[in-house]
Amino acid sequence: MTEIKTEHVWPFERTSPLDPPPVFAELRATCPVSKVSTWNGREAWLLTRYADIRAVLADPGISSDLTIEGFPEPTPTVAAARGGQKNFARMDPPKHDEHRRMLAPDFKIHHVAELRGYLNELVDGLLDRMEELGGPLDLVDMLAQPVPSSVICQILDLPTERSDFFQDRVKTWMSFDNPPTVASQANQDILDYFSEVVDERFDEPGDDLISRMITNQVKAGNLGKDELLHILQLLLVGGFDTTANMIALGTLTLLNHPDQLALLRDDPSLVNSAVEELLRYLSVAHQVAFRLATDDIDLGAQCIHAGDGVIAPIAAANRDPEVFADPDKFDITRDARRHVAFGFGLHQCLGQPLARIELQVVFSKLFVRFPHLRLAGNPDDLAFRNSIIYGVAELPVIW
Partner 1 sequence: MHISVAAERCIGSGNCVELAPRYFDQRDLDGVVEVLVSDVDASDESAVAEAADICPVSAILLGAGGAAQ
Given the rule CB under 8 A, which residues bind partner 1? Answer: 57-58, 97, 100-102, 104-105, 107-110, 112, 337-338, 343-346, 348, 350, 352-353
> Contact at 8 Å (CB) between 82 and 48?
no
**151: Cβ contacts below 8 Å, ≥ 6 apart:** 115, 119, 122, 239, 243, 354, 358
In angstroms, rounded to a whole number, what is the distance separating the alpha carbons of residues 146 and 240? 9
Q: Which residue's CB is nearer to partner 1, number 135 or number 343? A: 343
Q: Which residue's CB is nearer to partner 1, number 109 or number 301? A: 109
Q: How far is the CB of 351 from partner 1 (least distance, A)?
A: 10
Q: How far is the CB of 181 from partner 1 (least distance, A)?
A: 34
Q: How far is the CB of 344 from partner 1 (least distance, A)?
A: 5
Q: How far is the CB of 264 from partner 1 (least distance, A)?
A: 20
Residues 221-240 as b or e (16 or more Cβ within 10 Å = b): eebeeebbbbbbbbbbbbbb
Q: Which residue's CB is nearer to partner 1, number 5 or number 338? A: 338
In angstroms, rounded to a whole number, what is the distance separating the alpha carbons of residues 252 and 248? 6
Q: Which residue's CB is nearer to partner 1, number 60 or number 179? A: 60
- In Å, the largest CA–CA distance within the chain is 65
Q: Which residue's CB is nearer to partner 1, number 32 or number 353? A: 353
β-strand pairing of 396-398 with 5-9: unpaired
Q: Which residue's CB is nearer to partner 1, number 313 or number 343? A: 343
Q: Which residue's CB is nearer to partner 1, number 104 or number 301? A: 104
- Can you state the angle between helices 95-103 and 225-239, rounded to 10 degrees? 70
Q: How far is the CB of 216 from partner 1 (least distance, A)?
A: 10
Q: Which residue's CB is nearer to partner 1, number 155 or number 350? A: 350
**139: Cβ contacts below 8 Å, ≥ 6 apart:** 247, 248, 251, 395, 396, 397
Q: Which residue's CB is nearer to partner 1, number 107 or number 324? A: 107
Q: How far is the CB of 101 from partner 1 (least distance, A)?
A: 4
Residues in the chain: 399
